[in-house]
């Protein structure tokens, strides 16, 4: 049912806000095309080329992965289905849930935001829904509609799902073509371009919560899975010419225990500093509300000139000063703005790396000085440049300028199938080794270098004192990952179960 036709999206938002204030409607949905049906993504997918088995397989992979993550294992419980599908919906996976919002300006964003400019004359819309009227309508007409036709307005606050919180999101959960039964009111207007407010960054926050950093790990796995699938398809297409082709697989030592038995007089075991009770603070999820932690920004102005300190030293001083001045600063997803940097560095990528480091580290029990050192190292690496070079010798040379004894390492968690790479100091890595582990080695000379030690063992909880290792991880390995532009950055050393040489 058409409520009104207005001149543009701004007028549509204003009218929707007035109607909300009057109590006429409480939920809104924006669509670039008014003639698109307000259907679920599952319905649209199944009308296209997808089949239900593909959708089931996608969901099964996610649930299998989530079951291994302590913070996400609850998603496998049937009672948490709404949370599960809220996460899936906001990461672009098909569900039977239809997005709505309580904020007309958010609906206006979705009614005007599009990657490709629509045809001239396109009519857009903000759909307006009174959920109480919808529920009452289905209750009054249930015998005509049918008991099997389910519809439910869903309001849920998924812990740390900032995308949902930023969009003031709600869902309509349905298993049928509800729009053919219930007349959904709408405000129509000619598409004239994206609305001035809110911005894309306010709808899809660049800041990431603990949950969203975890979900990035799954997205990385899916990207790698699709890449491997295409590779196998290409090999199959080669037919006879493809015979003998093998996909390289990682092997950190020749033993499932990840240590070479011949090297040790006594088998290494779990170090006390890695025991679960010692790492409790590293494995807890801190719940945060988007609108409570996002919004603050800090400007850092780098000065230049003959007498000015090096840029990385100014960054170091700025972060140390900010953390000292504001004891609660780490409770917020601060936007760091750095002006005045000169040289060949990619400023946009540098600022993104600074932001990622802040959000990835601030809620983990790193010391403030660990964060300060990480930001200084990041600045040094970006000013050096070529840290993300495709040619290995160029990249290795760049890291050698930063750290003369730079050594490349590979690490992750093979239970979760996550993996990353970085550089760190050979000497500092050796200093992290637990005396107990080193003393059990038969050949002390072999384990005096990173290459020898990591040949002997690639199990970090057997060989490194955790606190020293975490300090190295923060100050060198995290910034090195970010400078390299790794598709997946691992921030938490307590979640690693292998650490070795690539």
Helical H runs in 239-286? Answer: none
**Contact at 8 Å (CB) between 263 and 49?**
no
Residues 366-382 pLDDT 10s: 999 999 999 999 999 99
Query: Average pLDDT, stretch 332-354?
Result: 88
Distance CA 97, CA 114 (A): 21
**Three-state SS for 410?**
strand
Q: Which of 205, 222, 252 is the last residue of a domain?
A: 205
pLDDT of 73: 92
237 pLDDT higher than 80: no
Question: How confident is residue 48, by pLDDT bands cut at 50, 70 and 90?
Answer: low
Same domain? 366 vs 474 = yes
Tell me what pLDDT residue 233 has.
Answer: 73
Q: Which of 119-133, 308-322, 337-351 has the lowest mean pLDDT?
A: 337-351
Residues 157 and 220 in one domain: no
Q: What is the DSSP letter of 5?
A: E
Q: Are residues 415 and 454 in the same domain?
A: yes
- What does the pLDDT read at residue 50? 62
Sequence-distant (6+) residues with CB within 8 A of 126 are: 12, 13, 16, 28, 29, 30, 104, 107, 108, 111, 186, 187
Instruction: Identify whether 58 is part of a domain.
Output: no
Q: pLDDT at position 251, please? A: 44
DSSP one-letter string for 453-490 = HHHHB--HHHHB-HHHHHHHIIIIIHHHHHHHT-SS--
Instruction: Check residue 252 and give its pLDDT.
Output: 44
Q: Is residue 219 part of a domain?
A: yes
Sequence-ordered list of residues with C-beta below 8 angstroms from that of 483, at least 6 positions apart, any chain: 353, 378, 381, 382, 387, 388
Q: Do 169 and 294 fall within a single domain? A: no
Edge-to-edge strand ranges of the sheet holding 169-174: 2-5, 185-190, 123-129, 27-31, 97-101, 169-174, 151-154
Could you tell me if residue 252 is inside a domain?
A: no
How confident is the model at residue 389, as a pLDDT? 77
> Which of 82-86, 210-214, 392-396, 425-429 is least confident?
392-396
Model pTM score = 0.84
Q: Is residue 91 part of a domain?
A: no
List Cβ neighbours of 100 (8 Å cut-off, separation of 6 or more): 27, 28, 29, 129, 169, 170, 171, 172
Least confidently predicted of 261-270, 416-425, 458-467: 261-270
CB contact at 8 A, 456 and 438: no
382 within domain boundaries: yes
List, in sequence order, the alpha helices (H) in 121-209.
131-140, 142-145, 162-166, 200-203
Q: How many structural domains does the chain have?
A: 3
In percent, how much of the chain has pLDDT > 70?
Answer: 95
User: What is the per-residue pLDDT across 275-296, written as a single tens digit (0 to 9) for each?
Assistant: 999 999 998 888 888 888 888 8
Question: Does the pLDDT value for residue 240 go beyond 60?
Answer: no
Whether residues 112 and 224 share a domain: the answer is no
Mean pLDDT taken over the chain? 89
Assess whether 461 and 312 both reside in one domain. Answer: yes
Query: How many Å apart are CA 272 and CA 275, to the nearest integer?
Result: 5
In a domain, 13, yes or no: yes
Are 309 and 396 in a shared domain?
Answer: yes
Q: Do 158 and 290 have their domain in common?
A: no
Q: What is the pLDDT of residues 203-223, one digit of tens each?
A: 988 888 888 888 988 988 888
Q: Give yes or no: residues 166 and 186 share one domain.
A: yes
Does residue 75 belong to any structural domain of this protein? no
Question: Residue 230's domain spans which residues?
Answer: 212-242
């Amino acid at each position: 049912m058409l409520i009104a036709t207005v001149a543009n999206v701004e007028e549509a938002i204003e009218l929707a806000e007035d109607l909300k204030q009057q109590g006429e409607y409480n939920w809104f949905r924006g669509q670039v095309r008014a003639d698109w049906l307000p259907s679920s993504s599952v319905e649209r997918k199944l009308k296209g080329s997808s089949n239900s088995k593909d959708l089931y397989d996608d969901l099964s992979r996610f649930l299998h992965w989530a079951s291994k993550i302590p913070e996400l294992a609850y998603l496998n419980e049937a009672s948490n289905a709404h949370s599960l599908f809220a996460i899936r919906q906001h990461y672009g996976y098909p569900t039977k849930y239809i997005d709505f919002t309580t904020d007309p300006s958010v609906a206006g964003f979705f009614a005007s935001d599009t990657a490709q400019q629509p045809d001239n004359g396109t009519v857009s819309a903000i759909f307006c829904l009174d959920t109480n009227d919808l529920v009452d309508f289905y209750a009054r007409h249930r015998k005509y509609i049918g008991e099997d036709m389910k519809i439910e307005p869903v309001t849920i606050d998924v812990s740390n799902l900032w995308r949902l919180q930023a969009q003031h999101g709600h869902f309509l959960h349905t298993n049928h073509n509800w729009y053919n039964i219930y007349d959904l009111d709408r405000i129509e207007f000619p598409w004239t371009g994206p609305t001035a407010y809110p911005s894309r960054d306010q709808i899809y926050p660049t800041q990431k919560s603990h949950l969203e950093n975890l979900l990035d790990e799954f997205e990385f796995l899916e990207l790698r899975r699709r890449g491997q699938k295409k590779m196998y398809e290409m090999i199959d297409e080669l037919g006879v010419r493809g015979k003998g082709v093998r996909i390289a697989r990682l092997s950190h030592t020749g033993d499932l225990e990840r240590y070479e038995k011949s090297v040790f007089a006594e088998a290494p075991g779990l170090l006390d500093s890695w025991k679960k009770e010692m790492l409790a603070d590293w494995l807890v999820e801190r719940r945060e509300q988007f609108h409570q932690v996002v919004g603050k920004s800090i400007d850092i102005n780098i000065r230049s000139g003959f007498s000015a300190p090096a840029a990385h030293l100014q960054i170091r001083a700025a972060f140390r000063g900010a953390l000292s001045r504001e004891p609660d600063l780490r409770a917020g997803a601060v936007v760091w703005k750095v002006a005045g940097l000169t040289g060949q560095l990619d400023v946009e990528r540098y600022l993104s790396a600074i932001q990622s480091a802040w959000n990835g580290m601030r809620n983990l029990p790193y010391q403030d000085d660990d964060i300060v050192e990480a930001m200084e190292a990041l600045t040094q690496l970006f000013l050096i440049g070529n840290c993300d070079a495709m040619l290995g010798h160029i990249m290795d040379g760049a890291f050698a300028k930063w750290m003369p004894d730079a050594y490349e390492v590979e690490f992750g968690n093979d239970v979760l199938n996550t993996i990353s790479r970085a550089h760190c100091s050979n000497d500092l890595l050796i200093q992290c080794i637990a005396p107990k582990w080193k003393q059990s080695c038969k050949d002390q000379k072999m384990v005096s270098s990173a290459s020898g030690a990591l040949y002997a063992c690639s199990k970090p909880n057997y060989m490194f004192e955790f606190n020293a290792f975490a300090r190295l991880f923060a100050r060198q390995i995290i910034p090195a990952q970010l400078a390299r532009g790794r598709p997946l950055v691992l921030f938490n050393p307590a979640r690693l179960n292998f650490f070795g040489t690539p």
